[in-house]
Amino acid sequence: MTTQPSPLSPQSSVLTPQSSALSTQPSVLNPQPSDLSTQPSALSPPSSTLNPQTSDLSTQPSAPKPQPSVLSSSQSSVLKPQSSVLLTPHSLLITGGAGFIGSNFVHYWIKKYQEDRVVILDALTYAGNPANLEPVANHPQYRFVHGDIRDYDLVVNLLQEEKIDTIVHFAAESHVDRSIHGPDAFVDTNIIGTHTLLKAAKKVWLDRSSEELESSSIAQSSVLSPQSSLCRFHHVSTDEVYGSLGPDDPAFSETTAYAPNSPYAASKAGSDYLVRSYFKTYGLPMTISNCSNNYGPYQFPEKLIPLLILNCLAGESLPIYGDGLNIRDWLHVDDHCRGIDLVLKKGTVGQTYNIGGNCEKTNMEVVEAICRLMDELSPNKDSAPYSSLITHVKDRLGHDRRYAIDANLITSELGYAPTESFETGLRKTVEWYLANQDWCQNIMVGNYREWIEKNYEK
């Protein structure tokens, strides 16, 4: 539950913060930012003394000499974010790499860092599509593994076999509406799955005993320790963990209290907490990015922007939930990939970074912009404007009213700035869907049709 004054749209049938017993325990349901955030202001300065690590970590013979700038805690046994740790990834495990953002990230990374090994682990759920990876599938450093992030042995073996130094974790159940119809899969993948990856990373990067090392076929030099800047668990998360903003509230910063409203958002919040705890408790080198709404090529057409483009092409209605005045902060997926790259290479270990587009739009503004582009790029045969297809439909349960990201930390610390405006990014996106009709047709069958029937009660 949230303390925000107006998180629920007027149409919503969901509990308001004022209602019943939920509002009687604000200190439980609404922890203060200091309880939940990683607090950039609390960064501990790099210690000049070589400090022993936490008790768990100090037992590790694979870390002969703690280095001063990394993860050392001075008096406290609780680890704090530490700057001046520069990571140079060589072998990446990209989970969920066959999905929308994951596949764009794989394209981005292979193009920019040709020498790096890129291993993709994806269960190929309805949202995973090998076709998203076809353009890079013949790259010599590319490997696709069809498997589940909840398969601990598989993940441990992959980390060892491929000498993985960097995990970029995209795999998730990602659609809010599906989480309303069936939350279980969200808990399974987003919470249990993330925890399985964390356990595997801890096992391979932190827990190896000297006997294991001696009998291992992996060279000692490839073994990573929490004291090294050689490994990283990067967790890709969402702005939805922060809940819903009122019209005049400041944008979400890294210290905003978590207040997830949908099962999807709650499962992502749970996974964020687990990642944070593996840093604080065990010293697993991690970073988290919480990003706003992405759009761009390869996005599954259950999400607003591709759904609207494809419905225009099919001459079907353009369903807008409720009054259409809900606000999202839109970011082109390439700019999200750039942000993750910066966090990996220059980010502070243990830190959360918000990534956003500084681009708040109501859903009505989005649908109208798409209709204008479609009128220009693929006019309706009977010349009727596509906006005539806009239809207001029943609101989403618990529909968050407004998201907005304050990206000052990543901007000032890492020099991040989006390169696409909404106008340029949306035009490119519409052009991509128009030019990739085969990709669209191959997706809009079977399960997809069933989902559309179910969600829109056709």
Q: Residue 330 forms beta bridges with which residues?
A: 293
Amino acid in the structure at residue 285: P
Give 60 or 174: the residue with its C-beta nearer to ligand TDX.
174
Residue 65 CB, shortest distance to ligand NAD, in Å, is 36
Residues 114-153, one symbol each (x = binds ligand NAD by CB under 6 A, - = not), give: -------xxxxx-xx-------------------xxx---
Residues 184-203 contacting ligand NAD, CB under 6 A: 189, 193
Torsion of CA 185, 188, 190, 196, to 10 degrees: -150
Residues 6 or more apart whose Cβ sits within 8 Å of residue 402? 244, 245, 246, 247, 249, 326, 327, 360
E strands present in 136-267: 142-146, 166-169, 232-238
**Residue 304 binds which entry of ligand NAD, ligand TDX, none, CB below 5-8 Å type-dependent:** ligand TDX
Q: In angstroms, what is the minimal distance from the CB of 385 to ligand NAD?
A: 28
Strand order in the sheet with 352-355: 142-146, 117-122, 91-95, 166-169, 232-238, 286-291, 352-355
Token digits for 210?
């000297």
Containing 117, the helix (H) or strand (E) segment is strand 117-122
Return the amino acid letter for 137: A
Residue 319 binds: one of ligand NAD, ligand TDX, none (C-beta under 5 to 8 A by kind): ligand TDX
166 near ligand NAD (CB under 6 A): no
Q: Does the active-site annotation cover 295?
A: no
Binding-site size, ligand NAD (CB under 6 A) = 30
334 is a contact residue toward ligand NAD (CB under 6 A): no
Least spacing, CB of residue 216 vs ligand NAD, in Å: 26
Minimum CB separation of residue 300 from ligand NAD in Å reads 5
Choose from ligand NAD, ligand TDX, none: what does 87 bind? Cβ within 5-8 Å by kind.
Answer: none
Burial class (CB in 10 A: 0-12, 13-18, 19+), 105: buried
113 is an active site residue: no
The least distance separating ligand NAD from the CB of residue 387, rounded to whole angstroms, comes to: 24
Return the number of the residue (205 or 451) whose C-beta is nearest ligand TDX: 451
Q: Of ligand TDX, ligand NAD, none, which one sits near residue 321, judging by CB under 5 to 8 A according to partner kind?
A: ligand TDX
**DSSP labels, 341-365:** HHHHHHPPBT-EEEE--S-EEEHHH
Pick the catalytic residue: 122, 240, 329, 335? 240
Residue among 366, 311, 333 at smallest CA distance from 132: 333
Name the token pair of 24.
């009687």
Q: Which does 122 bind (CB under 5 to 8 A by kind): ligand NAD, ligand TDX, none?
A: ligand NAD
Per DSSP (E only), the strands in 260-409 are: 286-291, 293-295, 318-321, 327-332, 352-355, 360-362, 390-393
Q: Which residues contact 334 (CB under 8 A, 6 or more apart)?
A: 104, 108, 296, 419, 420
Structure tokens at 57: 């970590």
**Catalytic annotation, pick one of 108, 242, 258, 264:** 264
Residue 238 interacts with ligand NAD (CB under 6 A): yes or no:
yes
* Residue number, 83 or 238, with CB nearest to ligand TDX: 238
Q: Which residue is nearest to ligand TDX (CB)?
A: 238
Residue 66 or 418 having the CB closest to ligand NAD: 418
Q: Which of 2, 62, 166, 174 binds ligand NAD (CB under 6 A)?
A: 174
Query: Which spans of this chain sit near ligand TDX (rule: CB under 6 A)?
Result: 174-176, 238, 240, 293, 303-304, 307, 319-321, 326, 328, 363, 396
242-256 in b/e burial notation, b at 16+ Cβ within 10 A? bbbbeeeeebbbbbb
Residue 433 bears catalytic tag: no
How far apart, in Å, are the Cα atoms of 406 and each of 36, 344, 410, 446? 17, 20, 9, 40
Which residues carry out catalysis?
Answer: 239-240, 264
Binding site for ligand NAD (CB under 6 A): 95-96, 98-102, 121-125, 127-128, 148-150, 170-172, 174, 189, 193, 236, 238, 268, 291, 293-294, 300
